[in-house]
């Protein structure tokens, strides 16, 4: 049966630990996207090639929607000179009706290696487009490459393969600037493209969703509150759901703390409403909310897991024994408590708990979830006095851009290898722009001091 993630309300299947190799093996390191795996692969190319192909064609991510692997695997494909057609195995089976998620990694790699100047990336994406497996996915990765030399004739491939709706959707969210090549030429060549580009430009001019972040957060909070009040009005009198109508009153916070465990444990309650309950809970900051989190936090049920998240955010130094105990239990519980682990590691890092160094090190090395490793890195950069000369160097090659960014700011620049790596990051056309800028700035500051 699907199990709900405690912090998102999204249904996921229970994880199978056998999906991942030993975290100390080269395959295990590559599956996890660790920088150590990147460096070992470069040192053992004969062994690494087939393992990298396996990772791309059998996506090892715990969460395919949020974890990053594209830059990591594309860089290895380029460095190891991996044959691009070998990645077609990712979409050898029929595509799912909901989309070709099996091809997400391979198509991302094709785009990124093309941006690195590796021949064949655009050709592989054009081949994928013509297959008709997932037109939206193909356009997502092809349109940013439309100005490349091997994209000659791409417009005709697109017009033959994509209908108006596919093309309109792709133009709306993939292309940001229609004044650069090849768009002026494409607009003159195709009346259909010209009309669709005109529509998109007009829609962008009418958009009103460019509010400041603070205003957007306020709007989201108001929408969440209105959803819960509406749920309360529609609920049967006397039920915990019916209590939600009290959010319209000043006493709504106390009510929510009282009924949240029952609401989150109610299998009939819609996932979106449960997510709204969690978001509202996690926004509370009153002394009563802190007390509720302290007494309710557990790994036993959805209400307890929601309280774990709130406790991790609000915990004080006196709460550390409890936070540590919950973290140890969540780690022992494995991947089914991954999101509790994430919240608790954030809390441990915020409180700079030296006593948790060992468990953070273990999670860093073993977790299959690169978002959790990123949190461990943030905490270790504060807690571990040796981070700059140890973990930071590896993290410069990590699959997650935010992990690389933390390492860039912390790494020991007296080490020549680290300076060389920052130069690579600064010149990498596929690197996250914030990492590139940080690498330039940190290298410049070091140079000025030396």
- DSSP state letter for 239: S
Q: Rounded CA gap, 277 and 122, in Å?
A: 45
410-438 per-position pLDDT tens digit: 999 999 999 999 999 999 999 999 999 99
Q: 197 φ, ψ to 5°?
A: -60, -40
Q: In a structure prediction context, what are the per-residue pLDDT tens digits for the chain, which is 450 residues long?
A: 222 223 333 233 334 667 899 999 999 999 999 999 999 999 999 999 999 999 999 999 999 989 999 999 999 999 999 999 999 999 999 888 888 999 999 999 999 999 999 999 999 999 999 999 999 999 999 999 999 988 999 999 999 999 999 999 999 999 999 999 999 999 999 999 999 999 999 988 765 555 567 777 778 888 898 999 999 999 999 999 999 998 887 667 888 999 999 999 999 999 999 999 999 999 999 999 999 999 999 999 999 999 999 999 999 999 999 999 999 999 999 999 999 999 999 999 999 999 999 999 999 999 999 999 999 999 999 999 999 999 999 999 999 999 999 999 999 999 999 999 999 999 999 999 999 999 999 999 999 999
Q: What is the pLDDT of residue 107?
A: 97
308-319 per-position pLDDT tens digit: 999 999 999 999
Q: What is the pLDDT of residue 251?
A: 61
> Which string of DSSP letters, residue by residue, matches 60-98?
--S-TTT---HHHHHHHHHHHT--GGGGGGGG-SPPBTT
Helix-helix angle 121-131:135-142, to 10 degrees = 160
Q: What is the pLDDT of residue 210?
A: 54
Q: In terms of Cα–Cα distance, which of 35, 42, 77 is closest to 56?
A: 77
Say whether the peptide bond before residue 97 is cis (omega within 30 degrees of 0). no
- Residue 116, SS3 per DSSP: coil
Strands 3-4 and 11-12, sheet pairing: antiparallel
Six-digit token string for 252: 């709504």
Domain locations in the chain as residue ranges: 18-206, 211-295
């Amino acid at each position: 049966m699907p199990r709900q993630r405690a912090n998102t309300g999204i249904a996921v299947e229970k994880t199978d630990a056998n999906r991942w190799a030993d975290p100390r093996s080269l395959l295990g390191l590559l599956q996890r996207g660790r920088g150590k795996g990147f460096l070992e692969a470069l040192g053992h190319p004969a062994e690494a090639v087939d393992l990298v192909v396996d990772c791309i064609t059998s996506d090892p991510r715990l969460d395919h929607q949020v974890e990053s692997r594209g830059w990591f695997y594309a860089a290895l494909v380029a460095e190891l000179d991996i044959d691009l057609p070998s990645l077609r195995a990712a979409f050898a089976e029929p595509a799912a009706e909901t989309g070709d998620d099996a091809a997400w990694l391979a198509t991302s790699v094709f785009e990124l290696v093309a941006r690195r100047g590796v021949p064949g990336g655009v050709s592989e994406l054009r081949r994928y487009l013509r297959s008709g497996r997932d037109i939206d996915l193909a356009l997502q990765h092809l349109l940013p490459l439309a100005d490349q030399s091997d994209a000659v004739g791409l417009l005709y491939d697109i017009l033959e393969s994509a209908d108006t709706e596919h093309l309109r959707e792709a133009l709306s969210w993939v292309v940001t600037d229609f004044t650069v090549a090849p768009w002026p030429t494409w607009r003159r060549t195709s009346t259909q493209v010209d009309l669709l580009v005109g529509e998109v430009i007009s829609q962008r001019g009418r958009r009103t969703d460019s509010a400041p972040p603070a205003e957007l957060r306020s709007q989201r909070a108001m929408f969440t509150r209105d959803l819960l009040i509406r749920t309360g009005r529609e609920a049967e009198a006397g039920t915990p759901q019916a209590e939600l109508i009290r959010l319209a009153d000043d006493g709504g916070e106390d009510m929510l703390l009282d009924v949240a465990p029952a609401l989150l444990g109610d299998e009939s309650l819609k996932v979106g409403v449960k997510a709204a309950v969690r978001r509202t809970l996690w926004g509370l900051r009153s002394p009563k909310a802190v007390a509720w989190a302290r007494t309710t936090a557990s790994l036993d049920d959805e209400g307890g897991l929601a309280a774990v998240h709130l406790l991790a955010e609000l915990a004080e130094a006196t709460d550390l024994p409890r936070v540590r105990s919950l973290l140890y239990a969540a780690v022992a519980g494995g991947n089914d408590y991954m999101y509790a682990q994430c919240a608790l590691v954030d809390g441990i890092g915020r409180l700079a708990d030296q006593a948790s160094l060992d468990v953070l090190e273990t999670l860093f090395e073993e977790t299959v979830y690169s978002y959790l490793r990123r949190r461990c890195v943030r905490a270790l950069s504060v807690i571990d006095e040796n981070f700059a000369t140890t973990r930071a160097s590896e993290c410069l090659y990590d699959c997650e851009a935010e992990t690389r960014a933390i390492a860039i700011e912390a790494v020991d620049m007296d080490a020549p290898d680290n300076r060389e790596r920052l130069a690579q990051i600064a010149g990498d056309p596929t690197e996250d722009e914030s990492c590139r800028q940080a690498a330039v700035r940190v290298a410049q500051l070091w140079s000025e001091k030396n």
